[in-house]
Structure 1
C-alpha cells in the first residue's frame, strides 16, 4: 500500500501555494535574494520516518531557529541555575531585536529574543573560548540534533555581519551590564555564524523530532539533551518562541514552535512528531506567511493543538475479578491495559484499596500494558508493598518486566512473577471460569 501521508502533504502545500503575501527579509543580502516561491514541508516521526513534500532538500540558513537548540546545549554545559542566573524565561511581548533587559534583574528576558540568544551563545565552551571555538561548538551541536554534519554558509554570515548594527548595539548593552565579559563583536560574530548554519526542512523536522522525543535523536539514537533540559527548552519555546506573536500562536495553533527570518518554521508535538516548513516571504512578526498558515491548517485538520483534550481513553483496568480458590482463599485478579501514567496508577490504587471484600491473594496482570512511566511504577510498587505488609500474597503477571522486579535490585524482592495463570496453584476455578468465558465468546 502507498501511504496517503505524502499525498496529504502535497494537497496541503497546494492549498497555500498561491498565497504571495509578505516579503523576504531585506536586511541580509542572501535572504533578500532568496527565491520567494520555494515551499517545502517535512514531518518526522519519533523513529525517524520522514514524510516530505515540495522543496524538502533545499538548503537555507537556520537563523533564529537555532536558538532553542543552542539554549539546550548551554543548559547541558552550564546547568540550569547558572543559565537562569544569566537569562530569564519570561515572554517579552516585544520584537525579537529590541534593545531591552528586565527592569529588575538587568538580564535578558528570555533566550529566544536576540539579547537572550547572544548571552546564551557567550556561554558556549570554556571561559575565554575563542570565536572559532564557540562557532564550532554551535555548528557541531546543531549537527547532533540534525543527525548529520551541517555547515556554516560564509556568504550569509558575511552579509549579516555587514548589517549587524542592532545586534552589536544589543551586545554592547549586555557587556555594559556585565551580563557577559567577552568582546561584544566576537559574541555577535559567533552568533551570526550560528544563525548561518545551513539546513533543509528534513533536517529541521529531525531536529524537532529530537525535542519531541525527549532529546533522543531518532536517526542516530544519541541522547542529545537530557529529559529535564529538553522539557525546559520546550517550555520556553511554547511561551517565547514566536516573540510578540507567541500568545496568538499558542492559542490559535497550539504547537510549540520557532521561526526564522530565512522563512523556516519548526514545531514540536511532544511524544508525537516534529514538523518543519519553509517559505521565504515573512509577515510583520518575521514569520513565514505560508508557514504559519500551513501550521494552522495542520493543527486544525490533524488535531495537533497541544491543549486539545484527548478522547477519553478506555479504562486502565481492563477486568477486576474475584474468585474463591481450591483452598478457600479469596483471589483477586486485576488486569490492566494500555499506557499507565500518574492518573492511571491512582485509579488502580483506588481499586486496590477497596475495603468491600477481603483478599488473600492479589494478582496484578500487566500482560496487556504497553508502558508504565516512572511515577506510576513507583506508586504501584508502593501499593503492592503495602498489600504485602497487610499479609496479602502478591503475584505479578509481568512477562515484559514492566515493573522492573526481576533481578537483585527489585523493589519487590519477594513477589512471584509469572507469565500465565497456569503457574498459580489453587486457581482451578479461575481457569475453569476463563474456559467458560472463552467458550461464551466463541458461540
Structure 2
C-alpha cells in the first residue's frame, strides 16, 4: 500500500459507509420548474471532502457535473464585497433571514432592499454590484472568481442557461421590483443574463469541496496556495451562510449539522468547517424547501460521526503536532497537543504516514492533548495496524489513559504510560 494510502483508508471508509447508508433514500423530487433540470439522473450521489491542506476524499459520483444553481450565491456575494466593499454591499443587501421562500418577490419592509444574499432577490442585487462594462465582462469576472476557488477552469451548461432564461419570469419580476426601489443601478435584463449564466455554471461535488475548503482557509485555495479573497470577506460570507444558507431549513441545519452551508436546486450542497475542511455533496432529489434530501442526511451523518459541528471545534486550530524528536535511528516521537478531533487526527496520521519511509517506529505522545472525540480516538487506535502493514511499528503514550481509555476503540493500540517505556519496547534505549 502506497504512502498516505493507509491513512486515507481510515477516512475513506467513513465516506463510503455514509454514502451507502443513504444511497437507497428515494424521498424528494428533482427540480422541474427549469425544464433542463428535470432530466437529471435522480439516483446520482456524490460526496467529497477536502481538508484545509488540499487533501481530497471522494465517494460515489464525485466526478459527475451538474449546475451550481444557488450555491453560486455566497461566492457572488463574496466577490461583490471584495470588489466594492462591505458598506456598498450593505447599502443594497441585508443580512437577516427572510422567513420566506427563496424566490419570493419581496424586499424588507423598512429598507426596501433584499433581506439577504442567499435568496434570489439578494443574489440578483449582488450580481449588479460586480464591476463590469457590460454583461460579458461582469460574468467573466464572476467565472474567474469561481474557477479560482474551485482550482480549475469552470464553464457553463448552455442548455440549462437557455432553459433558465426562457422560464425566468419570476426572477424578471424580482429584478424590475429591485430597480423600482433603486437597488439595481443597471439594466435589469443585463443583470439577469449574468445571474442566469452564473446559476448554470457546471461543477462536481469535488469542485464544491474545493470551493468550500477555500472559504475554510480564509480565502486561500488549498491546492494552489493562491489567495483569492480576504479573511474579512470570508468571515462575512460564512456568517450569512450560517444564518440564511439553507432556506427555511436553516435553523434545523444549524442545530443538526452546524456548519455554514448553501444548497442549490441542482441537487448540490456546500458546507464549510472554518480552518478545517470543505464538503461538497450532489444528490438531485429535493425536499419541500429546495434542499437535497440525501445530501442533507449525508451531511448530518458526517457531522455526527466526524464531530464537525462548528460549536464543538472552537479550539481545533490548536490541535497539531507540537514537536518531533528523533530519539534513535528510525525512531521518532511526535508530541501532540490541544484538542484532537477529526481534522487534527487526520493531519497528524498523514504526517506519520509520510514520515514512515524513513521512520521504523512512530511514537505519539498524548499527554498534552486536551480533548479528543470518538472518531479521532478510533483513528489513532488504527495507526499501529496501518504501520504494521508496511513493516513498521506504532505506539501511543497516554500516562493516565485519559485520552485513550481502555475499550474496544483502543483494542488494536499499544499504549504506554511513559515515553521511556515506549522507547524500551522499540529497542531504542
- TM-score after normalising by structure 1: 0.70
Where 1:86 maps in the other structure, the secondary structure is: coil
1:203 corresponds in structure 2 to 207
Structure 1: distance between partners of 2:143 and 2:39: 24
* Cα deviation 1:144-179 (Å, max 9, x = unaligned): 100110001111000011110110000000000010
1:61 corresponds in structure 2 to 67
2:352 corresponds in structure 1 to none
Residue 65 of structure 1, CA deviation? 0.2
1:220-299 pair list within 5 angstroms = 220-299=224-303
For these two proteins, the number of residue pairs brought into alignment is 328
Structure 1: distance between partners of 2:338 and 2:312: 19
Structure 2: distance between partners of 1:19 and 1:185: 40
Is the CA contact 1:153–1:197 (under 8 Å) kept in the aligned structure 2? Answer: yes
1:123-202 pair list within 5 angstroms = 123-126=129-132, 129-202=133-206
Structure 1: distance between partners of 2:225 and 2:310: 26
1:26 corresponds in structure 2 to 32
* Cα deviation 1:330-359 (Å, max 9, x = unaligned): xxxxxxx9579xxxxxxxxxxxxxxxxxxx
Please list every run of 5 or more consecutive structure 2 residues that lacks an aligned counterpart in the other structure.
323-335, 340-367, 369-419
Change (3 A) 1:11 1:229: same
Structure 2: distance between partners of 1:28 and 1:102: 27
Residue 30 of structure 1, CA deviation? 1.7
1:9-158 pair list within 5 angstroms = 9-126=15-132, 129-158=133-162
Change (3 A) 1:230 1:314: closer
What CA RMSD, in Å, does the superposition of the two structures yield over aligned residues? 2.8
2:217 corresponds in structure 1 to 213
Where 2:271 maps in the other structure, the secondary structure is: strand
- TM-score after normalising by structure 2: 0.72
Which has the larger Rg? 1
Is the CA contact 1:115–1:171 (under 8 Å) kept in the aligned structure 2? Answer: yes
Please list every run of 5 or more consecutive structure 1 residues that lacks an aligned counterpart in the other structure.
319-336, 341-368, 370-437
Change (3 A) 1:296 1:314: closer
Where 2:130 maps in the other structure, the secondary structure is: coil
2:378 corresponds in structure 1 to none
Change (3 A) 1:51 1:104: same
Change (3 A) 1:45 1:132: same
Residue 312 of structure 1, CA deviation? 11
Structure 2: distance between partners of 1:198 and 1:313: 33
Is the CA contact 1:62–1:199 (under 8 Å) kept in the aligned structure 2? Answer: yes
Structure 2: distance between partners of 1:314 and 1:241: 28
Picking from 304, 307, 310, the partner of 1:300 is: 304
Change (3 A) 1:309 1:131: closer
Structure 1: distance between partners of 2:195 and 2:38: 20
Residue 94 of structure 1, CA deviation? 1.2
Runs of 4+ in 1 over 3 A off after TM superposition: 309-315, 337-340
Is the CA contact 2:318–2:338 (under 8 Å) kept in the aligned structure 1? Answer: no
Is the CA contact 2:315–2:338 (under 8 Å) kept in the aligned structure 1? Answer: no
Change (3 A) 1:78 1:305: same
Is the CA contact 1:139–1:152 (under 8 Å) kept in the aligned structure 2? Answer: no
Change (3 A) 1:169 1:273: same
